[in-house]
Amino acid sequence: MSNWPRVPGIAYGGDYNPEQWPESTWTEDIALMREAGVSMVTVGVFSWALLERREGEFDFGWLDRVFDLLHEAGIAVDLATATASPPPWFSRAYPDTLPVTKEGHRLWPGSRQAYCPSSTRYRQAATNLARALAQRYGQHPALVMWHINNEYGCHVPQCYCDGSAAAFRNWLQARYHDVEALNAAWGTAFWSQHYTAFDEILPPRSTPTWANPTQQLDWYRFASDELLACFTSERDAIHEVTPDIPITTNFMGAFKPVNYFDWAPHEDVVSNDHYLLGADPSPHVQLAMSADLVRAAGHGAPWILMEHSTSAVNWQPRNLAKQPGQLARNSLQHVARGADAVCFFQWRASRAGAEKFHSGMVPHAGTDTKVWREVVELGKHLKSLGEVAGSRVQAEVAILFDWNAWWAVELDSHPSTDVQYLTIVRDYYESLWRQGVTIDFARPDDDLSAYKLVVVPALYLVTDQAAAAIGDYVRAGGHLLCTFFSGIVDENDALRLGGYPGAFRDLLGVKVEEFFPLAEGEVVQLSDDARGTVWTEALHPAGANVVATYVDGPLAGWPAVTAHHAGDGLGHYVTTRLDQDSLARLIARCCAEAGVRPPIIAASGIEVVRRRGDGASYLFVINHTQQEADVQAVGEELLTGRAVTDSLRLPAGGVAVVRETH
């Protein structure tokens, strides 16, 4: 169910925390919101301590007034359940709800999110508060959405307390039923780890050396599930009271501890928080990747950009402010990639607390500022894009992404610590992005038949079922581009024997006898002028053609890249981390062979994405360069209302959205 858009067009707003300001400020807030075109705000995200001042004693007075003020101004409310941070009285009354680290430290209140996700006491209290809010505001006409908790797992994704240990054992019992099945799955014959009963099992707490890998993997799964159980507990209580109000919680892009692909089906609509990373050399590519990932979580449906920033944040070592125009460029890039709502953290920059140097829609310096002027302008832009809402992003290429593979591939005691999942995914994502190709992220066991090309980066762990699905896709004519350290283990992190890459050996027509990771900083040359780092493999072709070989390094003369016809399809295998230029050439060739084309041909640094709705298509064009650029398009540019007859001139840093005429 994605019935959320009770706010017409592209919703616009942000987190609104009026309780941090005197009520005298609220009137100004409303007036400024109207000036900016704000249509929806999120209220109450961290208000537990002010909503329930003592156990069971609720104080809704101030929130009632906020609701009424907003409603009078025609601004919809996305009501947060306020459960992301229990109040001090709660932690003091129930100290065993506090989280415990891997080393056995208790984490104390004083910041936020100081709760153990497996604590039944916490879950109960949170659910009670959510229910009370639903009962109080469920019928309020301003209410359009529920926002449960906040950024689940952000600071405490895992708790190692005794209560969590007991919950872990229950989870394992449900998964394995009897302990010998667990012994088999975990390979406990190794290192004298055989369990005689579930009672003996612990979380992977601090231990003399590497904990059992499958124990660690199951711990990731368990911890993600525990957070989800917190969510569904609140959700169920609310759904009972307000079955028709959509429910969401805000994701954080590629956040390792929570499996958003598993989670999204439990929401009515998917939301995302995204912040630019100052240290990223191309943060707009990272933005695109985050947006595409969250869109994939919702199976392509429009989603909500629940948080981003008008300018600098406060939590990076050096928090870079945004350049003029960057606010709009970032926001519309999200819309281009499927967002139907653009919200900021937060409405008014704080005066106190740990986030006071986080930018807001209303800066410390007031409204005679770049930020405020751009906030107002963005409001107008979004208004003019109303018709785009509901349309969907079009993509011909899929990158397979999987939290289980991510968790497993980065476990300890592996051939090389230089193999980092997101780095490899990003390599391929960015190379496609630079060639103007729009991608979808997909689950490994999805039906892939709609894609012309599927990229498989470091899918170290793959289930038999997913491996079969990928094989079916290729043999039916699909094109595959698969990297090293894929197909290595089954779902229990047990090795697929007989030569690497176990699950894909036949499909790719190769057999690898040994990994040859490279030393730190080592670079090897390939026969096609490519360069490789991080990894090489002693590969024997078993049907595949050799596309490139190693010229030097530990495997001089051995194959580096291969291609294999399987059924009606074609599978490329890459045994090293290619440099960007070489990867661009490889991907260009794979795209050409697969018939993949960008939405339109544009200069380097011009991002083009097409959203397609009922009978209409919208071309988003974003100029990330410092030069103006011309782009071929025909239709109406919606931000300016101007007709585009055959080409569009985009200023440096500019954005255009063309309703296309075909």
Give, as ranges, the residues between 133 and 162 that touch a second copy (CB under 8 A).
Answer: 154-156
Stretch in the footprint of a second copy (CB under 8 A) among 186-194, 375-383, 606-614, 615-623: 186-194
Query: Least distance to a second copy from the beta carbon of 272, Å?
Result: 20
Quick check: 456 and 400 in contact, CB under 8 A? yes
Judged by CB under 8 A, the residue of 61, 351, 626, 662 near a second copy is 351
Site for a second copy contains 61 (CB under 8 A) = no
Query: Least distance to a second copy from the beta carbon of 154, Å?
Result: 8
Site for a second copy contains 539 (CB under 8 A) = no
How far is 424 from 58, CA to CA, in rounded Å? 49
Site for a second copy contains 423 (CB under 8 A) = no
Query: Least distance to a second copy from the beta carbon of 152, Å?
Result: 13
Judged by CB under 8 A, the residue of 56, 141, 520, 615 near a second copy is 520
Site for a second copy contains 200 (CB under 8 A) = yes
Query: Least distance to a second copy from the beta carbon of 377, Å?
Result: 16
Give the nearer residue to a second copy in terms of CB position, either 54 or 642: 54
Site for a second copy contains 365 (CB under 8 A) = yes
**Six-digit token string for 307:** 């948080």
Judged by CB under 8 A, the residue of 56, 61, 208, 615 near a second copy is 208
Site for a second copy contains 69 (CB under 8 A) = no
How far is 383 from 368, CA to CA, in rounded Å? 23
How far is 444 from 487, CA to CA, in rounded Å? 11
Judged by CB under 8 A, the residue of 538, 542, 588, 616 near a second copy is 538
- Name every residue whose Cβ is closer than 8 Å to that of residue 406 and which is 6 or more positions away in sequence: 256, 421, 422
Quick check: 549 and 526 in contact, CB under 8 A? yes
Site for a second copy contains 300 (CB under 8 A) = no
Quick check: 76 and 142 in contact, CB under 8 A? yes
Judged by CB under 8 A, the residue of 314, 394, 617, 632 near a second copy is 314
Give the nearer residue to a second copy in terms of CB position, either 277 or 592: 277
| CA-based R_g, the chain, Å | 26
How far is 53 from 88, CA to CA, in rounded Å? 10
What's phi and psi for 445, nearest 5 deg?
-100, 15
Among the options 52, 151, 396, 637, which is catalytic? 151
Scan residues 317-336 and list those touching a second copy (CB under 8 A).
317-321, 323
Which residue, among 276, 382, 384, 370, has the nearest Cα to 339 in the 3D structure? Answer: 382
What's phi and psi for 571, nearest 5 deg?
-125, 120
> What angle is formed at CA 324 by the lines to CA 321 and CA 328, rounded to 5 degrees?
95
Query: Least distance to a second copy from the beta carbon of 343, Å?
Result: 19
Scan residues 380-419 and list those touching a second copy (CB under 8 A).
412-418
Query: Least distance to a second copy from the beta carbon of 308, Å?
Result: 17
Stretch in the footprint of a second copy (CB under 8 A) among 240-248, 261-269, 362-370, 637-645: 362-370
> What angle is formed at CA 606 by the lines to CA 600 and CA 610, rounded to 5 degrees?
45
**Six-digit token string for 523:** 């670079």
How far is 237 from 247, CA to CA, in rounded Å? 11
Site for a second copy contains 464 (CB under 8 A) = no
Scan residues 496-515 and list those touching a second copy (CB under 8 A).
497-500, 511-515
How far is 143 from 265, CA to CA, in rounded Å? 22
Quick check: 444 and 400 in contact, CB under 8 A? yes
Three-class SS of 212-255 = CHHHHHHHHHHHHHHHHHHHHHHHHHHHHHCCCCCEECEECCCC
Query: Least distance to a second copy from the beta carbon of 601, Å?
Result: 32
Scan residues 264-283 and list those touching a second copy (CB under 8 A).
278-279
Is 234 considered catalytic here? no
Give the nearer residue to a second copy in terms of CB position, either 67 or 460: 460
Judged by CB under 8 A, the residue of 311, 331, 404, 483 near a second copy is 311
How far is 203 from 499, CA to CA, in rounded Å? 32
Query: Least distance to a second copy from the beta carbon of 121, Å?
Result: 17
Give the nearer residue to a second copy in terms of CB position, either 37 or 554: 554
The full DSSP string for 68-101 is HHHHHTT-EEEEE---SS--HHHHHH-GGGS-B-
- Name every residue whose Cβ is closer than 8 Å to that of residue 237 and which is 6 or more positions away in sequence: 127, 128, 130, 131, 134
Size of the site for a second copy (CB under 8 A): 120
Scan residues 582-641 and list those touching a second copy (CB under 8 A).
none
Query: Least distance to a second copy from the beta carbon of 590, Å?
Result: 27
Q: How many other CB atoms are there within 10 angstroms of residue 6's CB atom?
A: 14
**Six-digit token string for 35:** 């000036």
Query: Least distance to a second copy from the beta carbon of 130, Å?
Result: 14
Judged by CB under 8 A, the residue of 34, 53, 65, 380 near a second copy is 53
Judged by CB under 8 A, the residue of 174, 352, 646, 662 near a second copy is 352
What's phi and psi for 430, nearest 5 deg?
-65, -35
Q: What is the DSSP letter of 544?
A: P
Query: Least distance to a second copy from the beta carbon of 580, Å?
Result: 21
Site for a second copy contains 213 (CB under 8 A) = yes
Q: Cis before residue 346, ω within 30 degrees of 0?
A: yes
The helix-helix angle for 370-384 and 23-36 (nearest 10°) equals 50
Judged by CB under 8 A, the residue of 355, 377, 528, 660 near a second copy is 355
SS3 category, 126: helix
How far is 441 from 260, CA to CA, in rounded Å? 12
How far is 71 from 77, CA to CA, in rounded Å? 8
Stretch in the footprint of a second copy (CB under 8 A) among 290-298, 368-376, 426-434, 589-597: 368-376
Site for a second copy contains 46 (CB under 8 A) = yes
Query: Least distance to a second copy from the beta carbon of 81, Å?
Result: 12
Judged by CB under 8 A, the residue of 206, 449, 604, 627 near a second copy is 206
Q: Map residues 542-571 to x or -, x wherever contact with a second copy holds by CB under 8 A.
A: ------------x-----------------
492 beta partners: none
Among the options 52, 267, 307, 430, which is catalytic? 307
Judged by CB under 8 A, the residue of 74, 353, 477, 651 near a second copy is 353
Is 151 considered catalytic here? yes
Residue whose token pair is 């009271």: 241
Scan residues 71-110 and list those touching a second copy (CB under 8 A).
82, 84-89, 91-92, 99, 101, 103-110
Site for a second copy contains 114 (CB under 8 A) = yes
Q: Which residues are catalytic?
A: 151, 307
